[in-house]
Amino acid sequence: MIAPLLSLAVLAAFVSATPHNKPGHASPCQAIKPPHVPGAHIVSIKGTEKKNLTVPEAPTIPNLDICQVDVVLSHPHANDNVLVQVWLPLSQWNGRFLGTGGGAYAPGLFDLYLAPAVAQGYAAAATDGGVGVNPLTPDAWALKPNGKVNSELLENFIQRSIHDMAVVGKAVTESFYGKKPHHSYFSGCSTGGRQAMVEAQHYPRDFDGIVSGSPTLNRATFNVALLWPQVVMAEENTYPSLCEFNAFAEAGIAACDELDGLKDGIIMNIKDCNFDPYKLVGSKVTCDGKEITISRNVAKVVKRIYDGATTPSGLQLAPGMVVGTPFDSVANTTTTPDGHRVGNPLFYANEWAKYFLEKDAQFDTSRIPSSTFKKWYAQSEFEYTDIFADSVPNLTCFKDAGGKMIMWHGLADPLIYPKGSIGYRQAVEREMGGSRQVDKFYRYFLAPGAGHCGLPPFGVGAPLDPVASLVEWVERGKAPDTLPAGVVDADGVQSTHDICKYPMMSKFVGGDPKVAESFMCVRHF
């Protein structure tokens, strides 16, 4: 669930804004004023100059000269200490502020995103939300000593801390440079994509422009829906090996690959893809040197995963996986010492069930019957929908504030299925006058064959620099119809592609398939 490092190249020339240190006075980095944060008080503020800085998370970006400002704040009655860290270029500030998001259970990824941001001239900020920076588990903060959910820290994680970061980051930037940033932006993927949507929906004036990548929408119920493949395997008492699952993923790609006019191992036309898993029943695959015949039970497991979460009566609860997507995250299994294969739930969903539903760190989620799934789904919806509030389709306040948003999602995302963000986009269109009206402030892009936040599978690649496209839109009025993407294959060959604005799709029109100009955006194939 951790978002990868994405380029943040800026199209505009840098604006030099180097602070001046007077002899005998404290440096501006050490003398930044404590910001005013409504609803919180400042515990401490510390500025430190760091020169020739290189961080392990971004080793290709060496020799940064920054002022690092650590602001610790607390909310009344919350018993929290929230760190907001702001990095400020000591020279060649480009006049902009960039807020950065987190991944999984970490509200911020700090060096991973801050280093490339300041390298391109941004003043940038990240926050730990008062819950720390461990993306894998909320074990350190989810429950109080009495076993109840720590609702204050959960509120920090879900939405309060990202707004506080915007307030602190912009104030610190103004104090350091002596003027406000002329534009402020936010960029995040996965958890960061959800944070982006919280900002657009609930704090519409925090940022002039927002990039939301692979957003986890309807998070309260989606946290449970991620367990659906495990439920299916338990119900069918069938736990396919990864090798068997791969056979279905590859067969799905083979069945739908050429619907876009090109055989390249990438499904671009998911609308017309009607792959039937049962067609593989009786076929043979070789796994670990052994020949295995695909059974009807295995095909049924795959079909139900594609169909998505349903009630026993068939009511659709959550969208399913897109054909051609790898199964190894949500349908993972493990082998016990006695040789039995059992479920191995995705860590994010597993932790949600243990800490926020069962309130028991030792709860075993390896076998999940449909009755438990149904109970958890209803419980999570009832207890947490209001606090997440991340799928409000009315973005009028954001639009009226002049905000612009780019959302993108990989079509082969194995963690956060793109059907969720497609559904959200469609809901916004219904609420706000159709696609043409919505396109005026919110554009949506689906990256064919791409995985989660630029992680494998790579497909056509993730957007190379959505922030640069956003800057062009906000500051120059150039709304993007495509987002440049690219990927380097195993042989080191670079391919380029233009990801089309929804609902357009990419169609091969001839030429070199590794060149963006060989494709065009079409509404129908």
Catalytic residues: 190, 413, 452
d(CA 341, CA 344): 9
Order of strands across the sheet that contains 82-89: 41-53, 64-74, 82-89, 123-127, 96-100, 183-189, 209-213, 404-410, 442-447
CA 28 from chain center: how many Å?
Answer: 35
What is the spatial distance between Cα 357 and Cα 338, in angstroms, rounded to a whole number? 30
- The tokens of 473 are what? 């839109």
Tokens 């692979």: give the residue.
Answer: 214
C-beta contacts of 35-38 below 8 A and 24+ residues apart: 35/71, 35/167, 35/168, 35/171, 35/172, 35/175, 36/167, 36/171, 37/73, 37/164, 37/167, 37/168, 38/167
For residues 234 and 156, give the distance between their C-alpha atoms in angstroms, rounded to a whole number: 35
Cα–Cα distance measured from residue 126 to residue 187, given in angstroms and rounded to the nearest whole number: 11
Dig out the tokens for 417 from the structure: 């299925």
Percent of residues in the chain assigned helix, strand, coil, to nearest 5: 35, 20, 45
Q: How far apart are CA 61 and CA 442, in angstroms?
A: 31
Strands 82-89 and 41-53: unpaired
Centre a 10 Å sphere on the Cβ of residue 250 and count the other Cβ atoms it contains. Answer: 13
